[in-house]
Amino acid sequence: MEAKSHLFFLILLFNFVFLHANTLQTYIVQLHPHGVTRSSFASEFHWHLSFLEQTVSSEEDCSSRLIYSYRSAMEGFAALLSESELVSLQKLPDVIAIMPDRRLQIQTTYSYKFLGLNPTGEDAWHKSRFGRGTIIGVLDTGVWPESPSFNDQGMPPLPKKWRGICQEGQDFNSYNCNKKLIGARFFNIGHRVASTSTSSNTTREYLSPRDSQGHGTHTSSTAGGASVPMASVLGIGAGIARGMAPGAHIAVYKVCWFNGCYSSDILAAMDVAIRDGVDVLSLSLGGFSIPLFADSIAIGSFRAVEHGISVICAAGNYGPLQNSVTNEAPWIATIGASTLDRKFPAIVRLGNGQFLYGESMYPGNQFSNTIKELELVYVTGEDMASEFCFRGSLPRAKVRGKMVVCDRGVNDRAEKGQAVKESGGAAMILANTINLEEDTVDVHVLPATSIGFEESVHLKAYIKSTRKPRARIIFGGTVIGKSRAPEVAQFSARGPSFTNPSILKPDIIAPGVNIIAAWPENLGPTGLPEDSRRVNFTVMSGTSMACPHVSGIAALIRSAHPRWSPAAVKSAIMTTADVTDHSGNPIMDGKKPAEVFAIGSGHVNPERAVNPGLIYDIKPEDYVTHLCTLGYTRSEIFIITQRI
């Protein structure tokens, strides 16, 4: 059987996961949808269990090895297996593919205005009634239900087709759901299995849909958050915060935990979400590019699309590297990130009078928009730890009371600020070490600014040139409309796909730099445990932030055109994209005009996407031909589509 050679290939491909022959690992086992052995069992669950009964040799109860039973996103199950059990399982009839569990990562108020949506005008929001009646399913780190972005004032009742639940758990009750946040569930078995075999500490997590990281609260409010007047991050970026589809309902599926997001948990969430009745699935997570027949998100999303659900995914943050795009199945809308025209200037004035442009969201001090001139220090060491400002790497005697220069990269940006603060530093300049990197801002725990590569070269030259280098930072608040935008975010992943080079991806770009959205109220705006400040909104950057913009727009289109297929919705979004920026010039990618592998069909334009004129509709079976032309074999295509 051709399928058997596949199993062999998959096992070779992922051989590195076999650390010990007897260690149990999670595998996703895909079965033939019309399996010959199926009819002998009363239920899918019993059928799935029978495969383990034939393989697990030990005395134990096989049902403890079965961690998920799938039927909507895939026919099959996830189970804990040893290497030898895996070998016998793959020989059983009806087993068509086995995939080791994969660890994926999350791809980390104003953007609606930038995209041309106007709440008082005659526009897309009105034609689509703000996305009213649609349900956006968000697979992420959970939700902070008390956030004002999830208040349900003016929301219509729950749609009749909704069959989901509000799952109770640690600090989460059924009354945390309402007409805005209509569903919440959590999936953690794959994560738990993997995390006991690594040394990760998961005690800080809520065993419930409640968000302990903030990412899921941010993404779901970007997609469908309610209108919140007077939203700001400690007074910066003030305005009305609103999701792209403020009339849509949100259903949250928590699949990402401290240790990442496991594919067995993601597939379980997709399986349930398909039956729950969501219209759009939003996934701001991803891993590396792998063949589509080994990618359970590609397989599960194919089934979701067959059920009429639009699947929107982040393209990944490994740009500007070529071939870095992830989530590249043709039926998924893969979203890259762009910049907004909003800046938060925080300019460095060196002791020699030179100015260096930088950006920051430091709220400053209400009496003054500048901090006094300080001595400047750039600590260099053998191991580079102090250049990058690792915690504990900065000698207190050298940095106390000074403005410390930290190189960007390696460790978290906000953590560098915390490291400087802990060592007694008074302020920080984050210096770019790579050309082209944009100034992503953070709400640092001390006065700080982030400067570009060329500015960093000047800064370091100045420090070398004098015995007593000094500088001050002048904070300029929020400035809108002064810069060229949109541009491609440098971190935005680039196509074409590594494993499928003839798939043109990403499909489109959407705002993903310095996005302000909802935040858990028990976390500081940096997310660091030491950050005791409290906010309802914070700023984040990533294709994770771009993805839910398009998920919200897909909900608007679904609301305006309820009969459209996911392919029609995706076509509407892509054919109406802008290829020029707000000044009418080509969208830039660093210093050159953007290529198709950076922006796909262009920058998303929700106003036109709701009224596209022309759409290209395709049926799920049309993808079979497409996969053939991509060079997949019949058995590979069968694994992906369950069609020949």
CB of 443 to ligand NAG, least distance (A): 13
544 classed as catalytic = yes
The secondary structure of residue 43, as a DSSP letter, is: S
* Interface positions, 391-420, toward ligand NAG (CB under 6 A): none
SS (H, E, C) 381-408: CCCCCCCCCCCCCCCHHHHCCCEEEEEC
Nearer to ligand NAG, 250 or 379 (CB): 250
CB of 534 to ligand NAG, least distance (A): 4
Nearer to ligand NAG, 163 or 534 (CB): 534
- Taking each helix axis from N to C end, the angle separating 634-641 and 2-13, rounded to the nearest 10 degrees, works out to 80
101 classed as catalytic = no
CB of 414 to ligand NAG, least distance (A): 18
* Given the residues 6, 48, 191, 215, the one annotated as active site: 215
Nearer to ligand NAG, 39 or 203 (CB): 203
CB of 196 to ligand NAG, least distance (A): 11
Nearer to ligand NAG, 521 or 622 (CB): 521
Nearer to ligand NAG, 148 or 527 (CB): 148
CB of 201 to ligand NAG, least distance (A): 4
531 classed as catalytic = no
CB of 516 to ligand NAG, least distance (A): 13
Bridge partners, 311 (sequence order): 281
CB of 156 to ligand NAG, least distance (A): 22
CA distance 489 to 179: 35
Total binding residues toward ligand NAG, as defined by CB under 6 A: 7
User: Which H or E element spans position 228?
Assistant: strand 228-233
CB of 129 to ligand NAG, least distance (A): 25
Nearer to ligand NAG, 406 or 535 (CB): 535
**Residues 497 and 323 sit within 8 Å (Cβ to Cβ):** yes
CB of 148 to ligand NAG, least distance (A): 4
Find where tokens 């909507």 sit.
72
Residue type for position 248:
A
Nearer to ligand NAG, 75 or 415 (CB): 415
Find where tokens 């996005």 sit.
515
39, 120, 198, 203: which one contacts ligand NAG (CB under 6 A)? Answer: 203
Q: Dig out the tokens for 33 from the structure.
A: 């949808």
* Interface positions, 532-561, toward ligand NAG (CB under 6 A): 534-536
Cβ neighbours of residue 108 under 8 Å, at least 6 residues apart? Answer: 215, 317, 540, 541, 542, 544, 545
Strands (E), 466-622: 470-475, 479-480, 508-511, 515-518, 537-540, 588-589, 592-593
Q: Determine if 190 is a binding residue for ligand NAG (CB under 6 A).
A: no
76, 133, 142, 148: which one contacts ligand NAG (CB under 6 A)? Answer: 148
Query: Using CA atoms in the order 45, 51, 57, 59, what is the torsion angle rounded to 10 degrees?
Result: 20
* Given the residues 69, 82, 111, 140, the one annotated as active site: 140
**Residues 312 and 270 sit within 8 Å (Cβ to Cβ):** no
CA distance 541 to 515: 6
Residues in the chain, overall count:
644
- Taking each helix axis from N to C end, the angle separating 634-641 and 622-629, rounded to the nearest 10 degrees, works out to 140
39, 198, 201, 380: which one contacts ligand NAG (CB under 6 A)? Answer: 201
Nearer to ligand NAG, 61 or 521 (CB): 521
User: From the CB of residue 450, how many other CB atoms can be counted at a distance below 10 Å?
Assistant: 27
Q: What DSSP assignment string belongs to 172-222?
A: B-GGG--SSEEEEEE--HHHHHHHHHS----TTS-SSSB-SSSHHHHHHHH
The sign of the CA dihedral 408, 413, 415, 420 is positive
CB of 531 to ligand NAG, least distance (A): 13
* Interface positions, 304-343, toward ligand NAG (CB under 6 A): none
**Residues 78 and 26 sit within 8 Å (Cβ to Cβ):** yes
Q: In this structure, what are the phi and psi dihedrals at residue 89, rounded to the nearest 5 degrees?
A: -65, -40
Nearer to ligand NAG, 110 or 462 (CB): 110
Nearer to ligand NAG, 58 or 532 (CB): 532
CA distance 414 to 434: 18
**Residues 110 and 513 sit within 8 Å (Cβ to Cβ):** no
**Residues 353 and 456 sit within 8 Å (Cβ to Cβ):** no
Residue type for position 525:
P
Residues 505-534, mask of contacts with ligand NAG (x by CB under 6 A):
----------------x------------x
Nearer to ligand NAG, 304 or 523 (CB): 523
CB of 179 to ligand NAG, least distance (A): 17
* Given the residues 544, 551, 565, 571, the one annotated as active site: 544
**Residues 459 and 350 sit within 8 Å (Cβ to Cβ):** yes
Q: Report CA-CA distances (Å) from 626 to 272, 422, 428, 517, 630.
A: 28, 56, 52, 38, 6
Nearer to ligand NAG, 137 or 364 (CB): 364
CB of 114 to ligand NAG, least distance (A): 24
Strands (E), 308-392: 310-314, 333-338, 342-343, 346-350, 355-356, 358-359, 374-377
Active-site annotation, residues: 140, 215, 544
The contact set with ligand NAG (CB under 6 A) reads 148, 201, 203, 521, 534-536
